[in-house]
């Protein structure tokens, strides 16, 4: 599977490796990146940024390559100014259609706390809110859009608002009809607009968009697409047999990485690289079906669901929760003069099951490694706190 990620998320990884993380959001961002390494074939990242942002991202990638991440794991998406402008206008048009449904009835309940933006330059405080709070002349909108265009990626929100009459009219109408709203709600809408923009490019490059943790938090989307499905493949019966809790506070991959890290952020990524290699057969099997999901194939969801069920059955066998097919079950031994002549029994089905099981068991090799970490552990929160403590800047 191919996913498009934010520079913001990559910078969280960098701060964790440098032990200058700004808080839990950076640590969670690093864990998210590690999980993406395990289950995704390729990580795409946009390059329509100012030089300092790109340079910072490149420095992080240099460190990641030294840890063991393969060069072809990361793919740069080169975006020209013309492509960027067209993408912004398409994003603005789509956003304008959805603006009403995107605003909750009571935004105050949704935004109990302000979004934690890792990079304040992405959405300068009050700037976007001040823009939409008043009517603007066509000449002022044109002037602002020209300035925003020169700011490249950091000016995306303002460019969409000022260069698209459709979006500008829609958001001003909604603002007036609702009697206005707080700057916090404007920040929420700006984050959503960026997500729309990245989703557009992700689809263009046949991939999914995985928002950085601070943005994903607003949408309650803290798991990657594949992992969210994989985390549910262990049957309820299996959970009971293993004495597992039904709902973990953190996805099981994250729990595994936290425990094995012993508080070392570099160890999180090193272990992710090891698990990535074990997950290769799984990624290969899911690749074509996931692509069909991206393309909107009608049968893709059914096929993917069937694959999840097959993986669940395999995992139960690997964990010893269901009897594994054995070669000897397909053989019939008769002792003749003390010599056991062996022949295939009449149960060809048993032999077929054994062959199929042997061929496919590598698909769940990585899940077999991860599954024991679903077992209740009273010190998982302590392990996470230790990772945060050793990663967050003391300045």
The predicted-structure confidence for 156-214, as pLDDT tens digits, reads as follows 999 999 999 999 999 999 999 988 888 878 887 888 898 889 888 888 888 888 877 76
Q: Does 95 have pLDDT greater than 50?
A: yes
Axis crossing angle, helix 24-39 with helix 380-391, rounded to the nearest 10: 110
What local confidence, expressed as pLDDT, does residue 233 receive?
47
- Other beta carbons less than 10 A from residue 43's beta carbon: 21
Beta strands at 74-77 and 342-344: parallel, antiparallel or unpaired: unpaired
Nearest to 235 by CA among 322, 357, 358: 322
In the chain, the largest separation of any two C-alpha atoms, in whole Å, equals 103
Q: Give the mean pLDDT of 299-308.
A: 73
List of residues 6+ apart from 71 with CB closer than 8 A: 65
Q: What's the rounded Cα separation, in Å, for the pair 188 and 56?
A: 26
| CA angle, residues 37, 292, 305, in degrees to nearest 5 | 80
What local confidence, expressed as pLDDT, does residue 252 receive?
66
56 burial level (CB within 10 Å; 0-12, 13-18, 19+): middle
What local confidence, expressed as pLDDT, does residue 381 receive?
77
Q: What's the rounded Cα separation, in Å, for the pair 52 and 6?
A: 15
Read off the pTM. Answer: 0.72
Of 352 and 40, the structure prediction assigns the larger pLDDT to 40
What local confidence, expressed as pLDDT, does residue 357 receive?
63
Q: What's the rounded Cα separation, in Å, for the pair 153 and 327?
A: 59
């Amino acid at each position: 599977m191919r996913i498009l990620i934010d520079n913001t998320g990559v910078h969280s990884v960098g701060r964790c490796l440098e032990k200058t993380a700004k808080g839990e959001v950076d640590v969670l961002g690093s864990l998210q990146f590690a999980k993406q390494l395990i289950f995704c074939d390729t990580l795409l990242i946009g390059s329509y940024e100012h030089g300092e942002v790109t340079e910072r991202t490149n420095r992080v990638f240099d460190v990641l390559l030294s840890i063991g991440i393969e060069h072809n794991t990361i793919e740069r998406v080169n975006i020209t100014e013309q492509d960027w402008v067209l993408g912004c206008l398409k994003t603005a048009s789509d956003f304008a259609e959805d603006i009403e449904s995107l605003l909750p009835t009571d935004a105050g309940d949704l935004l109990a706390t302000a979004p934690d933006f890792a990079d304040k330059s992405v959405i300068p405080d009050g700037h976007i809110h001040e823009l939409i709070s008043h009517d603007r002349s066509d000449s002022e909108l044109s002037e602002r859009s020209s300035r925003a265009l020169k700011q490249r990626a950091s000016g995306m929100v303002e460019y969409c608002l000022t260069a698209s009459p459709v979006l500008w009219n829609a958001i001003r109408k909604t603002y007036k009809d609702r009697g206005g709203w707080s700057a916090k709600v404007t920040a929420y809408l700006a984050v959503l607009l960026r997500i729309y923009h990245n989703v557009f490019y992700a689809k263009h490059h046949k991939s999914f968009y995985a928002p950085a943790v601070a943005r994903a938090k607003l949408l309650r989307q803290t798991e990657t697409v594949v992992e969210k499905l994989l985390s549910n493949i262990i049957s309820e019966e299996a959970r009971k047999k293993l004495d597992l809790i039904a709902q973990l506070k953190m996805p099981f991959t994250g729990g595994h990485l936290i425990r094995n890290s012993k508080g070392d952020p570099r160890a999180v990524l090193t272990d992710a690289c090891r698990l990535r290699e074990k997950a290769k057969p799984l990624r290969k099997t899911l690749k074509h079906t996931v692509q069909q999901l991206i393309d909107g194939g009608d049968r893709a969801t059914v096929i993917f669901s069937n694959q999840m069920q097959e993986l669940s059955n395999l995992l139960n066998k690997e964990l010893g929760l269901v009897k594994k097919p054995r070669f000897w079950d397909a053989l019939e031994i008769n002792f003749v003069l003390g010599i056991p002549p062996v022949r295939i029994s009449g149960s060809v089905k048993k032999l077929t099951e054994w062959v199929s099981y042997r061929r496919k068991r590598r698909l769940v090799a990585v899940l077999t490694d991860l599954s024991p970490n679903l077992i209740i552990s009273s010190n998982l929160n302590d392990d996470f706190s230790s990772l945060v403590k050793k990663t967050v800047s003391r300045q």
